[in-house]
Amino acid sequence: MLISLVAMPSILHVARTRHLYDDLGHFRKQHDQGIPRLGGLAIFASFIITLLLFCITGQQLPLNCMLAACTVLFAMGLKDDLSGVNPSTKLLVQVVVSAILVIPGNIRLTSLYGVLGVFQLDYVYSVVFTILTIILLINAFNLIDGIDGLAATAGIIANLTFAILFVRIHQYELAGICLAMVGALLGFLRYNITPAKIFMGDTGSLMVGMVSVVMAIKFIEVNRTVDVALSHIYSVPALAVAILIVPIFDTLRVFTLRIMYGGSPFAADRNHVHHRILLLGFNHIQATLILATVNIISIALALLLTKFGNTTVILVIAAACMLFKWTITFLIRCKERHSYSFKNLFV
């Protein structure tokens, strides 16, 4: 956190001197003045330096693969923030980064733990499924980085929760990695809360997504070891989904809607959950707090319903998210039609 706080003013100075501002003309932008989008530099520097100085060496996570993946993703994100990257190139780099983590790093999901009746995964299926999962979450955090503080807050909640759970099962190396990301994001958040002085950009959001999904995978896999497992939590994969529910739900929702209406799932729009909350008249801080509350409630639900199994817990959380989305849609219709009518629930 200290490194991030100290680095940020220098990054702001360079960005303003070199006129490295966000693209104001884009229809999705929420601000009326140029704001630097290089906050990911401070997040990357503070996270990597902290890991290199204070990491606890162990066998649970190959830090060499983790750091290599972070560096590759950082380089691509920095170029994207400065001059743009072709979507196909960005996807290719994400596949390479995911492959580094999954194949030499062996960071992969080996089972679906009974979700939809699927248990053990063969090696090839495990590799492919994990790579797709990592790519999804990397982009999910990128997509929710649309209002001040949201991506950073989601990253803090996710990694702080994982850190607490890792400490409970004596996985201090993994907890230390989570806390390094929490500190980096806290330092950044000081400058990203409304009125934002800087954005994290792709440099930050892609890396936060990568670290968060890696921690989720390790949390799921480590709990298969009987002697360190959280014996009172039976639905560990469902809990991991609950911890990352805000980016997961928003991404699956917008991708589904874009495909249903005949568009590309990667075409930018203003139909994200945070954009819809802003339509109700809330400001950036209020929208971020609302979604943070939804995240915390989802985690609480997963812990309370843990004995019902992964499939049931995931379905309950998904239903709760759909109800939340339905409520927002109802309120938007009521606001646009100036009437709180029952039919606004459906059309």
Phi, psi torsion values for 111, nearest 5 degrees = -160, 155
Q: How would you class 179 by CB atoms within 10 Å of its CB: exposed for 0-12, middle for 13-18, buried for 19 or more?
A: buried
Let me know: does 4 contact 183? Beta carbons within 8 Å: yes
CA dist., res. 108 & res. 230, Å (int): 20
64 labeled binding residue: no
Amino acid, single-letter form, for residue 196: A
- Map residue 120 onto helix, strand or coil: strand
Bridge partners for 120 per DSSP: 111
The closest of 26, 4, 46, 11 to 197, measured between CA atoms, is 11
CA dist., res. 167 & res. 174, Å (int): 9
* CA distance to 7, 177, 197, 333, per residue, from 46 (Å): 8, 12, 19, 44
**Buried-state track 277-302, b at ≥16 Cβ within 10 A, e below 16:** bbeeeeebeebbebbbebbeebbebb
Residue written as token pair 């560096």: 71
23 labeled binding residue: no
Q: What is the DSSP string of 54-92?
A: H----SSS-HHHHHHHHHHHHHHHHHHHHH---HHHHHH
User: Known binding site: residues?
Assistant: 142, 202
User: Known binding site for Mg(2+): residues?
Assistant: 142, 202
